[in-house]
Amino acid sequence: MIRPLTGTARIGLRYQFAYRSDVLMAVLALVAQVFLLRMVWTAVYGERQQAQGLTLEALLAYLTLANLQAFAITPIITRIAHFRIRTGMVFFDLSRPTGYLPQLAAFQAGHTLGGLLLMAPAVPVVLLVGSITPTAQPLGYAATLILGYVISMMMSLLICMIGFWTLETGAISLLYRLISQFFAGTMVPLSFFPGALGAFAQALPFQYMGYVPAAVYVGRLTGPDVLQAVLVELAWIAALTALLWLVWRRAHRRVVINGG
């Protein structure tokens, strides 16, 4: 039964287009951010050829890509679910013949697709500002990015579930966004993180939303490292699936027992 999901995805896409002026502003902010990062990092590098094995060109390409990806991946469902739980509109989502989590996931997928369509015209500008050249590992890049997107989606679904306990998830969503963007490596590549912080970042799943695919693109990760990244991503997806299933069962029972 795919039609309920494509229908919901269409709503997600239309929702993105209903706010297209917001998207334009966000794209402008993205271009500005990439431009500022370029200035800062150019000054930091100075006369140096490279740092931590990264040339300035590779670093700039990396940062541009990581930000572009993080921007495209940014979840909407945490806000949607929060609003609908708080207003009781979630009643309608729960009374559909289709499951609640598939509905949220489909909405997010449609919304992301809408975002990609809207930002498409800006991509050449961003690529130019970030001086990005084609990658030598298109397959590895696509695989790590798509799996990273799935991980991001599942993390967002987990955040959505919190609303069934606390009703108020605005602050949690904001915190999640800050933490996930930082540990995805959108400001500083993960390989620059010192000792314990680096190990901590490596242990978290956020790197797969930014750092890992971008590092594959610029050739920082190659061959067996890419394969290993894909395997770890698959393991994360398996673990998050189990966790999500457990949390959803408890959340659903909570609704069923305590009311909306």
Partner 1 sequence: MIRVESLTKVFRRPRTFPGVLGSLRTLVTRQYEERVAVDDVSFEIPRGEVVGYLGANGAGKSTTVKMLTGILTPTSGLVEVDGRVPWRERTANARAVGVVFGQRSQLWWDLPLIESLRLVGDLYDVPADRFTASLRRMRDLLGLDDFLDTPVRQLSLGQRMRGDLAAAMLYEPPILYLDEPTVGLDVLAKQAVREFIADTNRDGRTTVVLTTHDLADVEALCKRIILIDKGRVLYDGGIDALVTAYAPPRRLVVHLAGAAEDTRTFDLSGDTPVPELIGQIAAEHTIRDLSIEEPGLEDVLKRIYAESAG
What lies within 8 Å, CB to CB, of 26 at 6+ separation is 71
Residue nearer to partner 1 on the CB measure, 13 or 212? 13
**Residue from 205, 218, 224 nearest 73 by CA:** 205
**Residue from 117, 102, 187, 202 nearest 153 by CA:** 102
Structure tokens belonging to residue 119: 């930002």
Give yes or no for residue 21 binding partner 1 (CB under 8 A): no
**Up-side HSE of residue 180: CA atoms within 13 Å toward CB?**
25
Give yes or no for residue 11 binding partner 1 (CB under 8 A): yes
Residue nearer to partner 1 on the CB measure, 49 or 95? 95
Residue nearer to partner 1 on the CB measure, 54 or 251? 251
> Nearest approach, Cβ of 61 to partner 1 (angstroms)?
37
Q: Of residues 55, 98, 137, 202, which one binds partner 1 by CB under 8 A?
A: 98
Question: What angle is formed at CA 29 by the lines to CA 218 and CA 37, rounded to 5 degrees?
Answer: 45
Q: Give the separation between CA 18 and CA 16, rounded to whole angstroms.
A: 5
> Nearest approach, Cβ of 45 to partner 1 (angstroms)?
45
Residue nearer to partner 1 on the CB measure, 1 or 196? 1
Give yes or no for residue 249 binding partner 1 (CB under 8 A): no
Give yes or no for residue 95 binding partner 1 (CB under 8 A): yes
> Nearest approach, Cβ of 172 to partner 1 (angstroms)?
15
> Nearest approach, Cβ of 258 to partner 1 (angstroms)?
6
3-class SS of residue 193: coil
Contact 215, 62 (CB under 8 A): yes
Q: Of residues 44, 88, 170, 249, which one binds partner 1 by CB under 8 A?
A: 88
> Nearest approach, Cβ of 183 to partner 1 (angstroms)?
28
Helix intervals (H) in 167-222: 170-183, 195-203, 211-217
> Nearest approach, Cβ of 226 to partner 1 (angstroms)?
38
Q: Of residues 94, 129, 204, 243, which one binds partner 1 by CB under 8 A?
A: 94
**Residue from 78, 259, 60 nearest 153 by CA:** 78
Contact 148, 208 (CB under 8 A): yes
Give yes or no for residue 192 binding partner 1 (CB under 8 A): no
Give yes or no for residue 168 binding partner 1 (CB under 8 A): no
Structure tokens belonging to residue 50: 């490279």
Q: Of residues 46, 53, 97, 224, which one binds partner 1 by CB under 8 A?
A: 97
Phi then psi for 239, rounded to 5 degrees? -65, -45
Give yes or no for residue 255 binding partner 1 (CB under 8 A): yes
> Nearest approach, Cβ of 14 to partner 1 (angstroms)?
5
Q: Give the separation between CA 76 and CA 74, rounded to whole angstroms.
A: 7
Which residues form the interface with partner 1 (CB under 8 A)? 1, 3-4, 6-8, 10-11, 14-15, 18-19, 87-89, 91-92, 94-98, 255-260
